[in-house]
Every structure is written in structure tokens, then in C-alpha cells.
Amino acid sequence: LVHSSTLVTAGVYLLIRFNNLLLNTEFLKMLLLISGLTMFMAGISANYEFDLKKIIALSTLSQLGLMMSILSMGFSDLAFFHLLTHAMFKALLFMCAGMIIHMMNDNQDIRFMGSLSLYIPMTSLCMNISNLALCGIPFLAGFY
């Protein structure tokens, strides 16, 4: 809770608040480059992980890169909307992951998590909805 509320959210929110001062500067070009690299590297790293919590943490890093790239293009309102929707659906995703890890006797390795929808269908449904919303599927929050 401390990390997500102080470092992540406050950092993005401060950049949103000071976005008017940063418009039309070289900083935004550098921010776009760094955010693109962040999204790419976090996505590639998540593909080679087997720990469920690390995969979700790397997807959070990729989403932060997306928020920074939105800011670097000058859409601060859209970045703030994405910050709010990301917080809600990522919280749901972590709650579902905690439920799955608890049901798996504290095993976080995704290689042992087959057929979860048969054993915990509601948790699987909530996790899939959260994933799809964060991916930007039409008519869910990430799409807008």
C-alpha cells in the first residue's frame, strides 16, 4: 500500500500536475522514448517470468510506461483517467492473485496453475475481466 500510494501514484500525479510547465520541451521527447522502452522491456520480461506476483508487477510497470507516454503526448486528462482505472482494476487483479495463491497453498508458480476456472470460477471470471479492462478491450474501462 505504501509503495503504490506514495511512489507510483504520487509520481504520476505530480507529472500530470506539472504537465503544463513541461509542454513543448525536449523533456517530453525524452519521456516518450524512455516510456516506450519501459513498456517494451517490462512486456518482454513478463513473458519470461513464472512468478504470478512478478508478472503482475511487471504489467504495472508497463502500464506506468503507457501513462508516461500519454503524458509526453500532452494528454494529461487521459493519463489521469488511466491512472484511476488502472488503480481499480489492478487492485482487483491483485486480490484475485492473492486468492489464487492462497488456494494453491502459497505457491506462486504459474506452471502449476492449470484448470483454475473449474475450481474457482468467480475468481477466474473477475481476473479475466480485470485483465481485459487493463488491455483496453472495447467497452471496458481501458478502451476509453
Compute the CA torsion angle 120, 43, 11, 134 (nearest 10 deg). Answer: -40
The three-class DSSP label of residue 120 is coil
Cell of 117: 476456472
Residues ≥6 apart with Cβ < 8 Å to 111: 50
**Is the pLDDT score of 128 beyond 90?**
yes
Give residue 137's pLDDT: 86
The pLDDT tens digits for 15-52 are 888 888 878 788 889 999 999 999 999 999 999 999 99
Count of residues for the chain? 144
pTM listed for this prediction? 0.85
Give residue 101's pLDDT: 93
Each domain of the chain, given as residue ranges in start order, spans 2-143
What is the full DSSP assignment across 73-93?
A: TT-HHHHHHHHHHHHHHHHHH
- Find, among 94, 76, 81, the residue nearest to 144 by Cα: 81
